[in-house]
C-alpha cells in the first residue's frame, strides 16, 4: 500500500501534468473572476479534478477540501488542495505557479507537497521525516540556513505576492521592510526559506490551502510557520515563514504594529 506521502506526490504529479498542458496553451484559456475578485480558469478546475481522482482511488474514505470544489467527504482525515496556487501568475505566463497538496490528520498537517511544474521542481515533507526537493539533478534534503545571524537588519525577506498589494498590506509590511532586505523570489518565497536562500517570507493573504503544504515543508526544514496572531496551524489570513524562532518573534513584533 502506498504511503500517504506517496499518494500526495502522485496526486500533485497528476495535477501538474494537467496544469502544464493548459500552461502550454494559454492563448486559448479564458479567465473568470470569483466573488472575491481573484482569478480562476478552466485549468484550476481541471487540475483539481485530476488530483481528486488520484485521492479518491487511493484514499476513498478521506475527506478532500479543494479551493475550487470545496469539501467532499466526512472522513477524520482531510486532504487540502490548491490546484493552481498563483493563478494570476499562471495566466500571465509566469512559471512560478504551484500545485499544493497536503494531508491533515487530527488537526495537524502530516504530509505536504509543493510542485512547481513549469520549473520542473517539487518539494515535499512528512511530519518527522524532514523536507526534500526533487529536480533534474535528483532528490536531496533541504534545510534552513543556520549560519546567518538572527537579526532583522541582516535578514533576507520575500513577500508574496510581489505586487498588487492592498494599502493595508503595504502598511502592515512597511515596518519590517524598512529593516530587512526585501529580495525578489524566483520560486515561492516560503520554499526559499526552506532552502536556506531566504530568512523570512510574508504571505499577505491566503486560505488554508495556500499554507497547508508549505507550512509543513518549512517546519520540517527546520524553520517556523505562524499566523500573525501567533497560531501555528494554517488558516486564512496573512502568515509568516521564518528561519528561526528568534527571527519569527522579531518579525511578528513589527508586523503586528499595524495588523492589530
10-residue mean pLDDT series, the chain (260 residues): 94 97 73 51 92 97 95 92 93 94 96 98 97 95 95 96 90 95 96 98 96 98 95 95 97 79
pTM here is 0.93
CB atoms within 10 A of CB 48: 22
Give the CA dihedral 171, 212, 190, 216, nearest 10 degrees: 130
Same topology, domains 4-142 and 152-259? Answer is: no
3 exposure class (CB count in 10 Å sphere: 0-12, 13-18, 19+)? exposed
* Residue 190 · residue 210 · CB < 8 Å: no
Domain spans of the chain, in order of start: 4-142, 152-259
Residues 214-241 as b/e (b if ≥16 CB within 10 A, e otherwise) read bbbbbbbbbbbbbbbeeeeebeebbbbb
- The residue written with cell numbers 486532504 in the block is 79
Measure the CA–CA gap between 196 and 87, rounded to whole angstroms: 26
Q: What is the pLDDT of residues 143-158, one digit of tens each?
A: 999 999 999 999 999 9
What's the CATH architecture for 4-142? 2-Layer Sandwich (3.30)
Q: What is the pLDDT of residue 46?
A: 94
Q: Looking at the chain, how many residues does it have?
A: 260
* Residue 107 · residue 124 · CB < 8 Å: no
Looking at domain 152-259, does it have CATH number 3.20.20.70?
Answer: no
Q: What is the pLDDT of residue 100?
A: 98
Amino acid at each position: 500500500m502506498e504511503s500517504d506521502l506517496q499518494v500526495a506526490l502522485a496526486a500533485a504529479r497528476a495535477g501538474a501534468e494537467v496544469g502544464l498542458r493548459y500552461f502550454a496553451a494559454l492563448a486559448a484559456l479564458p479567465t473568470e473572476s470569483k466573488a472575491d475578485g481573484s482569478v480562476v480558469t478552466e485549468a484550476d478546475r481541471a487540475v483539481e479534478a485530476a488530483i481528486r481522482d488520484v485521492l479518491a482511488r487511493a484514499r476513498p474514505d478521506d475527506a478532500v477540501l479543494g479551493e475550487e470544489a470545496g469539501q467532499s467527504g466526512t472522513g477524520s482525515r482531510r486532504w487540502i488542495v490548491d490546484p493552481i496556487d498563483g493563478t494570476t501568475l499562471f495566466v500571465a505566463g509566469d512559471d512560478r505557479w504551484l500545485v499544493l497538496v497536503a494531508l491533515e490528520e487530527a488537526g495537524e498537517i502530516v504530509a505536504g507537497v509543493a510542485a512547481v511544474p513549469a520549473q520542473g521542481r517539487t518539494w515535499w515533507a512528512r511530519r518527522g521525516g524532514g523536507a526534500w526537493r526533487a529536480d533534474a539533478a535528483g532528490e536531496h534534503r533541504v534545510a534552513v540556513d543556520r549560519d546567518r545571524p538572527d537579526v532583522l537588519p541582516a535578514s533576507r525577506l520575500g513577500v508574496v505576492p510581489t505586487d498588487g498589494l492592498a494599502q493595508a498590506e503595504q502598511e502592515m509590511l512597511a515596518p519590517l521592510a524598512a529593516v530587512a532586505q526585501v529580495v525578489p523570489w524566483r520560486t515561492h518565497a516560503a520554499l526559499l526559506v526552506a532552502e536556506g536562500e531566504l530568512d523570512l517570507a510574508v504571505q499577505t493573504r491566503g486560505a488554508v490551502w495556500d499554507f497547508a503544504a508549505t507550512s509543513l515543508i518549512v517546519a520540517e526544514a527546520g524553520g517556523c510557520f505562524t499566523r500573525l496572531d501567533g497560531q501555528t496551524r494554517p488558516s486564512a489570513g496573512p502568515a509568516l515563514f521564518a528561519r528561526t524562532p528568534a527571527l519569527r518573534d522579531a518579525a511578528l513584533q513589527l508586523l503586528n504594529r499595524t495588523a492589530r
